Structure 1
Amino acid sequence: MTATTGTTSPRADMVRNRRLLLDAATEAFAEQGLDASMGDIAQRAGLAKGTVFRHFPTKEDLLSAIMLRLLDRLVGSAGQLLEADDAAAALEDFMADGVETLAADRAFCEVIGRPSLQQSEVRDAIADLCVAVEALTARAREQGAIRGDVTGTDIVLLLGGIHQTAAPLLEAQPQAWRRYLALALDALRTAQPSRLPEEPPGRPQVSVP
């Protein structure tokens, strides 16, 4: 039997340090936006600044990792809500969870259009989110709970749209996003919808100016 020691393996240390850095960076960007410095992130994580750059050579790499974490969380939320009997309530819960998550993150609007969103892993994760949310949306359409021409990609885009609409108010009114979510939900549920102009959107295409 091999004796157990109090030391950890280099691999375990790397995993731990990466988690600490992502936690610290998520907190720093949420509070300060993209002005948060790598030095501040290292200090919050209790690690040397060089450790940050070993894991994330650039700020864009760090932003990409944070976006992947956010997208994975939303995909997981959509998957769990698929088990709910009430498809309309499940879709509403998902949208509320998604917008609330974005509203708590000051950096989100600033990240849109950044090179970090062009990384293939992030683009693939956005596509996965659209697929997961389409499953939720399809159930709500089948139950007649929402208008029949709404797609999962519409819902994903609405999350960011609702957040950006409320963003100027959030410092004074942190829950202002709920007003605009309610307006969006009423539009989704309308009993006699007008025909939507334009075709349904494809997967979101993120471009860098």
Structure 2
Amino acid sequence: MTLQKLKRPVSLFDMALDGIRSSIVDGTIEIGEQISETRISEQLGISKTPVREALQELRREGLVQIDPRKRTTVFKPDSQQLSELFDMRVLLETGAAERMYQRNREQSAGLMRAVVERMQRAVEREDYRGYRALDSDFHQTIIDGAGNGLISETYRPLSSKINVLRNRGLLDPYVVHKSFAFHQRLLALLENAEAEEFRAALTTHIQNSQKDYEAWLATLSPAD
């Protein structure tokens, strides 16, 4: 007789962490919004303790800020923080791209082509929410292609912050089409093994994204 291995139940902490993080990333909880432990615990149907622990973890990830008065708010980067965020993104993604070319170029190109084909279908259907998720997958392909666990671990919280911005700033169809054209160009450079050109284009793409998010953040009032 063979028994199936039992699956561990998801802890209340993990449930709270995943639920709050997803709500921040997808825009259910807005940038700069104050978060109430009581309200979240009531909505999730759990006690405050796992919610409080989840918020502390999200603070370590940089997705929420807790001030001296114990108020918890979703991060809202100023111009300096945004610049530092994208500077770090350039360093990690271009560094990962260099390793990807050395170790996993052909495999990564195949994975990236599959993502770009799905991106194209999303654009054609005007499924911009789906496109934004695929945008994240595209850049994760570069990180994974490096084959370096420390790079992936360092990138993870950065990726969460980028996704928060991506799901709010990448709404204009014009910006989406411009973004897609750049992703197509990056794929072509990867398939043609043009390493220097790929890293240069990736840097330009990330810098252009920063400008788009700066323009979007400038439209928000201080109270938003």
Q: Under TM normalisation by the shorter chain, which class is it?
A: 0.3 to 0.5
Compute the TM-score of the two structures, normalised by the length of structure 1.
0.37
Compute the TM-score of the two structures, normalised by the length of structure 2.
0.35
Bigger helix share: 2
